[in-house]
Structure 1
């Protein structure tokens, strides 16, 4: 056999191996259906008894990759990845500083992430854990790749951080988008559900992150109805219910200054008020936006901003001191919302 034929066969064998690996990765990810969970308990003796008012904060961290200097290709921007690993590290340090300043009983976090592609290998979840040492951590991934090396892997999801005595949260699935991300990864939408006693009475707290890029917000509507079905069942049992997170729908009308082109608002849809169960209330701070568009890096008064993050509470809950912390979208494309909550019955 000539040297040329040996080289040719070796090349084709290599191509076959690569194609086989790609097929294996695609099959493993397309068929994966589990929602992996990571838990880390609070130090013994640090959990406090939950008392009213219950303080809850919700914040989408943007996997520390969507600071003010970033745009994102899915939002009609140019970048697929953050500008640099150093930029992600700066964002995470800012997020840690903000988180450590909260005294909330429960923090509902979205787009937390293990080291991987979209955060250039920075351990965002580990950084969150380090910033909140007295909290119990419950992380569940809605996006997770299999058989992919760390530089290319994804493990993003919801984190519920709890500083009060409570059992472990549970996971309930929500409707999913029909298409796989990048053609090979399915996003497993779900809600984290925490059932606890507050001042001796039963409460349910839910953490959600609904779909953003579904055509016509059809999947969002299905997810919303599923969330309300879960919440109404809890309310019917005599529980006070709080649903917090990133709804990816405009929760209250806004008119913040901007000069974004209409094309950047393609994913923006109003919250369907006719779907809100009777007596339930939307809890937001109307004075401060919670999200900005990512078609370009952030500049105040230029990017479109609105309110899609907040809480919805059952008829037996009253909210007070609702406040969105204005961070200038420095470290994330979302801003944290905090509220004090009490039962009214």
Structure 2
């Protein structure tokens, strides 16, 4: 009996030892491969547009749209939001959603576009190259740049359907020539495991010449979502506020926008409330974020985001406006247009403003 127990104990010890060795090797591999971008990096500019300067006499438009890496059909839920799925249903679904999102952008036909959650060869989006799909699907008059904000060689959870390799980022598109294109890192949790598995949040900053020899500064944002206590979201807002105020002092025109992962403060958080309770992370941008000379602009009548813990049901899911823009007061917004797509292609809807430079 004792010999049998010893054998069983040895087997258990061998199995546990093997698991520990594999886990240590896995974490070591992730550590070696950890994506560590610099605070500021120049980005490659693709397909220079023909238009050189933004004309103050004309009305222009800008759209922001988080395309959800092509996975978020209306029937999709996501494990990080309390759902069960970690990958898109199949490659056909991803292609349909990306093409649908791009077609909607082409219908809107903005002069500038901020696009978030663009995957490149990621397991969760069935190895599609969405950077190419978006750039080639849009009208070819757009110049563009792309910045990574999420690169992990392989994520082993959830264990029943591993998230796998992730390589993703955000892109900015313009009918006008970019003078510069920069990736600026946002503050994120730098603890060891958070660095290995978390997003490396960033903003893309582009500069476009204007006909009065100033600059239109475009800032494409994708702020933190899963941040208990809001520590890093606050740090990101503090950094953004400094950048906005610095550009304002220079006399530039500035539009910052994208997926704030906060409710836009000029909107009513309960306006679109359904039967689902509001998740804790749906909260307003803090009142202490108030850069001088700026105001928020967004269509307040069309929600831009749905909860993703359950598939979309228009009578159930909580929805709110977490995508939008903050603009300097030398910009006159003449129209605000949300696109109510009923979250057909993503867990976000695109939203657009039309503006003139003063």
- Short-chain TM bin: 0.7 to 0.9
Would you say the 8 A contact 2:30–2:196 is kept in 1? yes
Would you say the 8 A contact 1:142–1:189 is kept in 2? yes
Residue equivalent to 2:241:
228
> What secondary structure does 1:118 align onto?
helix
> What secondary structure does 2:325 align onto?
strand
Is the aligned partner of 1:198 residue 2:197? no
Is the aligned partner of 1:304 residue 2:311? no
Would you say the 8 A contact 2:151–2:168 is kept in 1? yes
Which aligned pairs between 1:94-243 and structure 2 lie closer than 5 A? 94-132=100-138, 133-146=140-153, 152-179=164-191, 184-200=196-212, 201-243=214-256
Please, which of 329, 332, 337 is the counterpart of residue 323 of structure 1?
A: 337
CA-to-aligned-CA distance 1:8-44 (integer Å, 9 cap, x gap):
9xx9xx989956752442222446345888745226x
Would you say the 8 A contact 1:257–1:301 is kept in 2? no
Cα offset, 1:299, TM superposition: 1.2
Separation in 2, partners of 1:172, 1:37: 9
Is the aligned partner of 1:73 residue 2:74? no
> What secondary structure does 1:216 align onto?
helix
Separation in 1, partners of 2:117, 2:123: 14
Range moving further from structure 2, 53-62 or 184-193: 184-193
Please, which of 267, 271, 283 is the counterpart of residue 281 of structure 2?
A: 267
Cα offset, 1:157, TM superposition: 1.0
Would you say the 8 A contact 1:108–1:161 is kept in 2? yes
Task: Give structure 2 stretches of 5+ with no counterpart.
Answer: 1-10, 156-162
Would you say the 8 A contact 2:274–2:315 is kept in 1? yes
Cα offset, 1:146, TM superposition: 4.4
Separation in 2, partners of 1:218, 1:15: 34
Separation in 1, partners of 2:151, 2:53: 34
Separation in 2, partners of 1:222, 1:15: 38
TM-score w.r.t. the length of structure 1 is 0.86
Range moving further from structure 2, 151-160 or 56-65: 151-160
Would you say the 8 A contact 1:63–1:113 is kept in 2? yes
Residue equivalent to 2:4:
none
Range moving further from structure 2, 296-305 or 271-280: 271-280
Is the aligned partner of 1:41 residue 2:46? yes
Separation in 2, partners of 1:143, 1:221: 20
CA-to-aligned-CA distance 1:155-192 (integer Å, 9 cap, x gap):
11110112112213112221112456777334222211
Does the C-alpha gap of structure 1 residues 19 and 305 become closer, same or farther in structure 2, counting only changes over 3 Å?
Answer: closer
TM-score w.r.t. the length of structure 2 is 0.83
Is the aligned partner of 1:89 residue 2:103? no
Does the C-alpha gap of structure 1 residues 180 and 314 become closer, same or farther in structure 2, counting only changes over 3 Å?
Answer: farther
Task: Give structure 1 stretches of 5+ with no counterpart.
Answer: 1-7
Cα offset, 1:103, TM superposition: 2.3
Separation in 2, partners of 1:56, 1:217: 28
Cα offset, 1:334, TM superposition: 0.7
Does the C-alpha gap of structure 1 residues 190 and 207 become closer, same or farther in structure 2, counting only changes over 3 Å?
Answer: same
Cα offset, 1:135, TM superposition: 1.3
Residue equivalent to 2:55:
51
CA-to-aligned-CA distance 1:58-85 (integer Å, 9 cap, x gap):
1111111112111111111111112222
Cα offset, 1:222, TM superposition: 0.9
Separation in 2, partners of 1:170, 1:118: 27
Is the aligned partner of 1:247 residue 2:260? yes
Counting matched residue pairs gives 331
Does the C-alpha gap of structure 1 residues 103 and 50 become closer, same or farther in structure 2, counting only changes over 3 Å?
Answer: farther
Instruction: Provide the aligned C-alpha RMSD in A.
Output: 2.9
> What secondary structure does 2:172 align onto?
strand
